[in-house]
Structure 1
């Protein structure tokens, strides 16, 4: 069984987290059954960007990182306090652990800024929120990333993406890294995606 740690910061976007819970949930029941996703945060309650409150299954202080095979991080909004948690040393420490072990790391939208802040994107290809009105790509460059103007960028074991619309594809890419293309196609077909 492959365990995926879904790392949630206060102010995360619920839609960006739900792509991981749905894709890996569908895989557990309808795919190869070989994945388990666990929601983890810095505290026992986390408020999403749009004031939806969730209770993660575990808090960081209660987990054993060695038990997990992959890391997934949804992005969020600065106005909702996302970077308070995403830039917290406990949060960054989790990212550094998965990178040191070369385990898959998947981030959506501005979650790549936490990867950058952790230091793991130095001289690596990556992307982040890329709307013309945003300066997030400039911010990512300051962390040493080789910013690509692409929807999704894969550099080794790290997946970054440019906006919330990429969420499902990022989740499917992570599932493929942990299972197989055949399995992903089965899950996509069952969920109604064109293959």
Structure 2
């Protein structure tokens, strides 16, 4: 089993990446890190991560899930990325796990997969507005799972978000 983790090339939220990576490693789930371009990406707290592939290079047939990391770089680099929203749509339509944390759930809203789905997002006016435009049913909880979609509201929820994602990936019911 393998998943793809999507991050902004700059200003992704470090712990929102670190916690899922730790949980995936602990569960023995392989992953690739992708961004708008391959290469070194920089976190809001100064961390550096190598994106081995670009969103254009992701073949969704090779992955069981998509995890989109938030941070202040999300609006500038992820929200309007057509390739990423297309990937999110494909993963959802084929019954795979789709997860996003912090400001990244807006990508799912823009992909049209949160219509009438329970979800959460970082509490910023613009993000909340985008979620409502996407017809998401906003829930005031740190982590929300609705079907195969997992959303979380920010860095304090990163550990629980990671656990929820791993649980969905390992759920043989699907």
47-56 or 145-154, larger mean C-alpha shift: 47-56
Structure 1 ranges of 4+ moved more than 4 A: none
Secondary structure at the residue paired with 1:55? strand
CA distance in structure 2 between the partners assigned to 1:151 and 1:50 by the alignment: 21
* Pair 1:141 & 2:136 matched: no
2:74 and 2:103 in contact (8 A); partners too: no
CA distance in structure 1 between the partners assigned to 2:165 and 2:136 by the alignment: 21
CA distance in structure 2 between the partners assigned to 1:82 and 1:150 by the alignment: 21
CA distance in structure 2 between the partners assigned to 1:52 and 1:15 by the alignment: 9
Please, which of 30, 55, 60 is the counterpart of residue 65 of structure 1? 60
Q: Could you state the TM-score of these two structures normalised by the residue count of structure 2?
A: 0.88
1:12 and 1:74 in contact (8 A); partners too: yes
Higher strand share: 2
Instruction: Give the count of matched residue pairs.
Output: 168
Q: Could you state the TM-score of these two structures normalised by the residue count of structure 1?
A: 0.79
Secondary structure at the residue paired with 2:51? coil
Q: Which runs of 5+ in 1 are unaligned?
A: 29-34, 181-195
1:85 and 1:91 in contact (8 A); partners too: no
Shift of 1:51: 4.4
* Pair 1:25 & 2:25 matched: yes
1:71 and 1:105 in contact (8 A); partners too: yes
* Pair 1:164 & 2:158 matched: no
* Pair 1:90 & 2:83 matched: yes
Partner of 1:184: none
Q: Which runs of 5+ in 2 are unaligned?
A: none
2:142 and 2:157 in contact (8 A); partners too: yes
2:75 and 2:103 in contact (8 A); partners too: no
1:73 and 1:106 in contact (8 A); partners too: yes
Q: Structure 1 residues 4, 138: CA separation in 2 closer, same or farther (over 3 Å shift)?
A: same
Q: Report the structure number with the largest CA radius of gyration.
A: 1
2:74 and 2:104 in contact (8 A); partners too: no
Higher helix share: 1
- CA-based RMSD of the aligned residues comes to 1.8
Partner of 2:36: 42
CA distance in structure 2 between the partners assigned to 1:163 and 1:60 by the alignment: 23
CA distance in structure 2 between the partners assigned to 1:148 and 1:98 by the alignment: 23
